[in-house]
Amino acid sequence: MQISDYIDDIARSTGFLSRLPMPAHHFERHDGSLSRASAMFPAAGLLIGLCPGLLVVLLSSVSANHALTAVLALAVLIGVTGALHEDGLADSADAFGARGGREHMLEIMKDSRSGTYGVLVLLISFALRAVSLTIILSVIGGWNTLLVLLAAAAASRAAMVWHWSLLPPARQNGVAASVGAPDQGARSTALIAGGLLFVVLASLACGLFPALSGLVLLAAMTGLWTSLVRRRLKGHTGDTIGATQQIAETVCLTALALLL
């Protein structure tokens, strides 16, 4: 692959995972497949995480309130992604919280309305991330919190590729199925890049032990979630992939906050 191919894949991954505007020429004569481009999900995560991270640095430079800074950073992050992953988390929570079989769960996931389980899980996820960011910012400062946000953004999007590649599509006409599955090379690249980026960036910000512990917990929770999805749905959906990102990011931030 040439350098231009990597740049194309980063742009396509970023365009798929966020609302950040990407130059149109990266998508010309492209069939919409992410089988190869998913290798660059961690790099796309860096671009996505940079937006709230820079806001944290700016606000911390003027001694803004840490809790308010954390909430505003998450608001920016949600705006950048268009709440894509939050929607997946809420739909997954509604489906897995409801009684019924596989087909009933898939029907719930297709419903655009959010139920009690979805709302509660979103509140818990947002609260954990907001409190964790407040603690992290108060202990290590703005620039190091930027590194933490970048680390979590990269690793959580590598977790998406891992979940995606381990399971077949639960339905053949879903979004995840339409863009193809990550090929073996893309999965390996995403996992190695996501893991290394997390360890390096989180170590610089928090130390090696919290970084390694956070990565182990991320892998464990992603594995548990994937096992649950395999048992109940027999395959992934776009919602379960999005939920994977939210679970991984929340675990990363919570673990680092607890270990500081």
pLDDT average, residue stretch 250-260 = 97
pLDDT, tens digit (0-9, with 9 covering 90-100), for 211-227: 999 999 999 999 999 99
**Does the structure show a pLDDT above 80 at 105?**
yes
* Residue 220 structure tokens: 């464990």
- Identify the H or E element spanning 62: none
pLDDT bin (cut points 50, 70, 90) of residue 29 is confident
Which is more confidently placed, 113 or 13? 13
pLDDT, tens digit (0-9, with 9 covering 90-100), for 89-99: 999 999 999 87
Q: Strand pairing partners for 169? A: 236
Give the pLDDT confidence score for residue 177 in this predicted structure: 67
pLDDT bin (cut points 50, 70, 90) of residue 6 is confident
Which is more confidently placed, 75 or 29? 75
Give the pLDDT confidence score for residue 171 in this predicted structure: 82
Greatest Cα-to-Cα distance within the chain, rounded to the nearest angstrom = 53
Give the pLDDT confidence score for residue 174 in this predicted structure: 66
Residues 6+ apart with CB under 8 A from 89: 118, 121, 122, 125, 239, 242, 243, 246, 247
* Residue 146 structure tokens: 């930027």
* Residue 170 · residue 243 · CB < 8 Å: no
pLDDT, tens digit (0-9, with 9 covering 90-100), for 166-205: 999 988 776 666 777 889 999 999 999 999 999 999 999 9
Closest CA to 144 of 257, 24, 31, 15: 257
pLDDT bin (cut points 50, 70, 90) of residue 54 is very high
